[in-house]
Amino acid sequence: MFSVRPIAVLIAIVFGSATAIGFGLLTTGTVFAFLQGEHPQLARELRPLLISCAWFIGLCGVSGAALYATVKDLRWRAFAQIGTALALLAVGLFYWPR
């Protein structure tokens, strides 16, 4: 019988959220890239948007690996889970108001 660990559920939530945010930012970046010729003010916003996209795509990759390792019960799952926690902390610190 297949049982889901609570840590797998938490990592799945992080993975799903990071994927959705990353996809939304990437889609918005694509629209900005096409429209910047007509709307020059969008050109200034493209670089920060792509940086945010990179943060969330990176979090998506790390948490996806951790989710896979946790569900498959692989030996390196603890390292992947720690990596997810560190990546989530890094994203949080990056966006924390200064």
Residue 15 counted as domain residue: yes
Per residue in 34-90, pLDDT tens?
888 888 888 888 889 999 999 999 999 999 999 999 999 999 999 999 999 999 999
Residue 21 lies in a domain: yes
How many domains, the chain?
Answer: 1
Q: Which long-range contacts (CB under 8 A, 24 or more apart) does 81-87 make?
A: 81/7, 81/11, 84/11, 84/14, 84/59, 87/58, 87/59, 87/62, 87/63
Query: Is the residue at 1 inside a domain?
Result: no
For residue 50, tell me if it sits in a domain: yes
Does a structural domain hold residue 86?
yes
Helices (H), 1-98: 6-35, 41-71, 77-95
Residue 2 has pLDDT above 60, yes or no: no
pLDDT of residue 3: 63
Whole-prediction pTM: 0.88
On the CB side of 73, CA atoms within 13 Å amount to 4
| Full residue range of the structural domain in which residue 90 is found | 6-95
Would you tell me the crossing angle of helices 6-35 and 41-71 to the nearest 10 degrees?
A: 160
- pLDDT, tens only, 6-24: 999 999 999 999 999 999 9
